[in-house]
Amino acid sequence: MLNAEILREAEQRRLAWRCRRGMLEMDIVLQRFVNEHFSGLTLAEMEQLDALLELPDNVFWDLIQGVNPQAEMTQSGVILEKLRASRPTAEQETA
């Protein structure tokens, strides 16, 4: 394995651990995100996710929900779209 691959895998493990949050809703979305999108993230997207993970849960949740469009202007649209795609649908919430 190349050093770059080893570093990438270490960064992915670190970020996956940081995706554990104190809010159930955030845990659900972030776990789905990790399962569905994580392996395909670029290094730039990992850096953007890392920055988002620095936010308090309520601010991060508002970004995912699209509640605060002002804050979105400073965040990565690509990573937010992938996170939003990981939200449960209405059918999944009632099941």
The enclosing domain of 49 has a CATH number of 1.10.150.250
pLDDT value for 1? 57
pLDDT value for 44? 87
- pTM for this structure? 0.75
Q: Is 94 within a domain? A: no
- Which DSSP category does 41 fall into? -
Among 5, 4, 6, 37, which Cα is nearest to 16's? Answer: 37
Q: Is 53 within a domain? A: yes
Cα angle value 89/57/12 (rounded, 5°): 80
Domain extent at residue 59: 3-88
Give the residue ranges of the chain where pLDDT is below 70.
1, 69-76, 90-95
Structurally, the chain folds into a number of domains equal to 1
pLDDT value for 91? 58
Q: What percent of the chain has pLDDT over 70?
A: 84
pLDDT value for 59? 87
* Cβ-contact 67, 87 below 8 angstroms: no
Q: Is 59 within a domain? A: yes
